[in-house]
Amino acid sequence: MKTETGIRSLIRHPSAFAPVVMSLTALAVVVGYVAVHGVAAQADEGAAARIWQLLVGAQVPVVALFLIKWLPRAPRAASCVLALQLVALLVAAAPVYLLHL
């Protein structure tokens, strides 16, 4: 007997919500940096840029694990959660792209 897993129950798994939290943390790093230092060009990448890169890059294996585990079990719910993860990533990347940081 196979039951369909809902989005609400699926998002409670760490591999589902961790990338969203990581994206929001990366967004907070960018917003905090801009609030303190402004958008003026720097000679070298600072710690904020490295932290943002680590947070965004570390999402790749987590999302891959999520897809490997949940896409075969609950394709509809997993696709919705994946869309949420991608939107969160785009929200975190938008200020970096738009402000040329």
Every domain of the chain and the residues it spans = 7-36+45-98
Task: Work out the burial of residue 98: count CB atoms within 10 Å of its CB; fewer than 13 is exposed, 13-18 middle, 19 or more buried.
Answer: exposed
End-to-end CA distance of the chain: 51
Residue 3 is predicted with a pLDDT of 52
Which residue numbers in the chain have pLDDT < 70? 1-4
Q: What is the pLDDT of residue 55?
A: 97
**What's the pLDDT at 9?**
92
pLDDT of res. 93: 97
